[in-house]
Structure 1
Amino acid sequence: MARGSLPRASEVLAERLRTSATAQGASRLVVLIDGHSGSGKTTLATELAYLLKAQHVALDAFYPGWGGLEVGSAMVRGVLAPENPGYRRWDWKRNQPDSWHKVNAKRDIVIEGSGCMSRDNRELATFGVWIRLDQVERKRRAIARDGATYHQHWDRWAAQEQAFFARERPDALADAIMDGRTGQIVFRADLSPEE
């Protein structure tokens, strides 16, 4: 970090996670980062995993196609399984399952993707982050990132996100809420009971 500059969201989060893990005596950090498509999950997860020297798992690697948000969410339990943890990759070009990817059950891990923070998955994690960002900016970012391919699937994917988020409420399960535009993070533990 440059002298006199504000810390990046990932730096603030990494410091908080280290402090929290030490205080809890946690042997392994398991961080879930959830939010709508285009909100900034991958960017935050990549930076955070680098700072923590942790594994980074993106649900994009194993969602089974454009209708697979729920299945991808359920697969997080396999990533965190005590025996043979990992996931079967999804070949997006051939639209079929691909190779098995093993995960180290002892190393810290950052898992990100829409639908990763279900109630069941949150019970297996040490920390959860929700990223919020308005739909106009999210769609602009997602289409800029993935182009016309994603544009034709936007509504279908958004409907799956809405159903999942309404049922599971990852925003309420999160320990921290990040503004996807400014990078500002609010930690629930710092809020007074009435906030």
Structure 2
Amino acid sequence: MSSAEAAAPRITLIDGRSGAGKTTYAAALAARTGAQLLSLDDVYPGWDGLEAGEAHVLEHVLRALAEGRPPRWRSYNWVDDRPGSWHELDPACDLIIEGCGAISPAARALAHHAVWVELADDAERRRRAIARDGESFARNWDRWAVQEQVHAARHAPRETADEIVEPLSPPSGR
């Protein structure tokens, strides 16, 4: 490993379906490691924006870091349904990117570690996501789920991950 590679920030990608536990897992990892945390929920440009959010972070954060450009990302104002402000990231600080769409072959090639999180079954994921995000998510659940399925079919994030975080299996009964 060269000294430039040794000095590069460690990049971790955390992906999974809505309500799977990605944000909780990523926040705990960031708190434990001191890494900065970027949530794709803040980047997606609306309910049809999974692919656009993924592409935005790939270009403005991951490729920027790889090319020595300042990493930055643009938030999305969900209330006003329009782009928000740009945010700078510290290019020297470790980074965790979490959200559905975080792991793709292109992103994985620019990151050190990738984690797939599935801490809940489909019914529990839906319940958790709606409890977190409210009725707006309830109305858009199916619309968003289709994009998650397309992402999974196109990029195989679970299969590409270095680590899979699943719920603990219940103890076997005797």
Give TM-score scaled by structure 1 length: 0.78
Q: Write the mapping of 1:154-169 to structure 2, written as runs, cut at 5 A.
A: 154-169=141-156
Q: Which one of 117, 131, 134 corresponds to residue 147 of structure 1?
A: 134
Alignment of 1:79 onto 2:55: no
Cα RMSD over matched residues?
Answer: 1.5
Greater alpha carbon shift after TM alignment, 130-139 vs 146-155? 130-139
| Greater relative contact order, per chain length (Cα 8 Å cut-off, separation 6+) | 2
Residue in 2 that maps onto 1:49:
30
Match of 2:83 in 1: 97
CA distance in 1, matches of 2:56, 2:30: 20
Secondary structure of the corresponding residue to residue 13 of structure 2: strand
Q: Deviations over 1:55-101 (max 9, x none)?
A: 00000111000000000111122122131211111000000001100
For residues 153 and 38 of structure 2, the distance between their equivalents in structure 1, rounded to whole angstroms, comes to 24
CA change 1:26–1:34 in 2 (3 A) is: farther
Q: Matches of 2:93 and 2:142 in 1, distance apart?
A: 36
For 1:113 and 1:101, locate their aligned partners in 2 and report how far apart those are by CA, in whole Å.
17
2:17 to 31, 36, 39: 36
Matches within 5 A, 1:169-184: 169-179=156-166, 181-182=167-168
Question: Displacement of 1:25 after TM fit?
Answer: 5.0
**What percentage of aligned pairs have identical amino acids?**
47
Alignment partner of 2:154: what SS?
helix
In structure 2, runs of 5+ residues without a counterpart are: 170-174
Matches of 2:40 and 2:14, distance apart in 1: 10
Counterpart CA distance in 2 for 1:98 and 1:157 is 21
Equivalent position of 2:106 in the other structure: 120
Residues 55-66 of structure 1 mapped to structure 2, 5 A cutoff: 55-66=36-47
TM (norm. structure 2) is 0.87
Note the alpha carbon deviations across 1:123-143, whole angstroms, 9 max, x for none.
110000001232111001111
Q: In structure 1, how many angstroms separate the alpha carbons of the residues matched to 2:134 and 2:73?
A: 27
Which residues of structure 1 form unaligned runs of 5+?
1-23, 184-195
